[in-house]
Amino acid sequence: ETGVTQTPRHLVMGMTNKKSLKCEQHLGHNAMYWYKQSAKKPLELMFVYNFKEQTENNSVPSRFSPECPNSSHLFLHLHTLQPEDSALYLCASSQARGLYEQYFGPGTRLTVT
Amino acid sequence: KNQVEQSPQSLIILEGKNCTLQCNYTVSPFSNLRWYKQDTGRGPVSLTIMTFSENTKSNGRYTATLDADTKQSSLHITASQLSDSASYICVVSPFTGTASKLTFGTGTRLQVTL
């Protein structure tokens, strides 16, 4: 595997479910990111991790809970989501924190019913 | 407030034709501007990156231009192919800061048809 991978690619969940999104990067990067992409809206940065430590949380509701066990893996735990949370969730990584080029994964298409 | 506006919102062209996508930004001070291509259901992939001192950068049939004085950039696609059908996103970076300071446009959705 090369680049940034994400699983699952598609997820349908009810509002009372608990699920997790997984991201893995094979680029030797130290920073990882979660973005939300909704239709006709710019990408919204959710969380930033640098060397496993969370460095940014852009006022994301607590029903989204990130976890970064090491520099290569990033999770997004989901619980009691709302229909408006349906979107494409993109993971990205970069060499380091800051304004380095980010490499994106293919995304997880999430539908909340 | 930093903003990036892209036009048109969507575009349909015939295969083999050229097209130009526009990006206007208000980010200041400005460091660099990137164009990404995003295929449907996939993550964005970088096409070009230009610093404030560059005014043109090519990547195959893609040519980006930048006018830092008027805060405008364009992406020109030559001899379009069906595989060019995608969304094209303009992203502007300030001089300093972290990822939260990146400003993303909403993208132009391009469809290339036979």
User: Using omega within 30 degrees of 0 as the cis cutoff, is the peptide bond preceding A8 cis?
Assistant: yes
Long-range contact set of residues A80-83: C-beta below 8 Å, sequence gap at least 24: A80/A15, A80/A16, A81/A13, A81/A15, A81/A17, A81/A110, A81/A112, A82/A15, A82/A112, A83/A15, A83/A112, A83/A113
pLDDT, tens only, A99-112: 788 999 999 999 99
pLDDT, tens only, B46-73: 999 998 889 999 999 999 999 989 999 9
pLDDT recorded at residue B73: 97
The answer to whether the beta carbons of residues A108 and A10 sit under 8 Å apart is: yes
**Chain A partners within 8 Å of B93 (Cβ):** 99
pLDDT, tens only, A61-77: 999 999 999 999 999 99
Of A9, A101, A107, the CB nearest to B46: A101
Of A99, A105, A106, the CB nearest to B31: A99
User: Using omega within 30 degrees of 0 as the cis cutoff, is the peptide bond preceding B94 cis?
Assistant: no
Chain A CA closest to residue B93: A99
Contact between A98 and B104 using a beta-carbon 8 Å cutoff: no
